[in-house]
Structure 1
Amino acid sequence: MSIPKIADTKPMVMELEAGNYFWCTCGNSANQPFCDGGHKGTDFVPQKFTLEEKQKVAMCLCKHSQNPPFCDGAHAKL
């Protein structure tokens, strides 16, 4: 299993509209925290998630969260 690139060691807090999103699992996307296809040629695939309503979220950028795509504080142990 490949190890993801750590995009940052803190979460990205943002307000997102209701809808479908694709979270970058590899860390290679230039459009963090979202997938831009940077995983091509790797064994990573983006993770789809859906928000039912507009909400403020803390998106994981270290790629080690046990609750992806959301931050669970795993970055503090890296």
Structure 2
Amino acid sequence: MAKGKIAEKSPIMMEMKPGTYYWCACGKSSNQPFCDGSHQGSEFTPKEVKIEKEQTVFWCRCKQTDNPPFCDGSHNKL
């Protein structure tokens, strides 16, 4: 599977409330780490993420993670 464009070389930590979110996989969204539709016409689609309970999430913004949409430290190798 192709990896998206590097949006940032660091994750973003966010306190998330329960709900459904769409993580940007292409790296082109201006609303990182979430999708804004910038992937249209590309091979990428956003990743649907369901948060069941309020929690802290480290969202990947480098788009190189092997555990999308979550940071796995891949940005440290860039």
Residue 19 of structure 2 corresponds to: 19
Q: Where does structure 2 lack aligned partners over 5 or more consecutive residues?
A: none
Alpha-carbon offset, residue 3 of structure 1: 4.3
Residue 38 of structure 1 corresponds to: 38
What one-letter code is carried by the residue in structure 2 that aligns with 1:11? P
Contact 2:3 2:25 survives alignment (8 Å):
no
TM-score by length of 2: 0.95
- CA separation in 2, counterparts of 1:30 and 1:24? 10
Residue 53 of structure 2 corresponds to: 53
- CA separation in 1, counterparts of 2:59 and 2:4? 15
After superposition, the CA RMSD in angstroms is: 1.1
SS in 1 for 2:75: helix
* Percent of aligned positions that are identical: 53
- Structure 2 residue 9 is the aligned partner of structure 1 residue 9: yes
Report the number of matched residues. 78
- CA separation in 1, counterparts of 2:50 and 2:4? 22
SS in 1 for 2:32: coil
Instruction: List structure 1 runs of 4+ shifted beyond 6 angstroms.
Output: none
Q: Where does structure 1 lack aligned partners over 5 or more consecutive residues?
A: none
TM-score by length of 1: 0.95
- CA separation in 1, counterparts of 2:33 and 2:17? 15
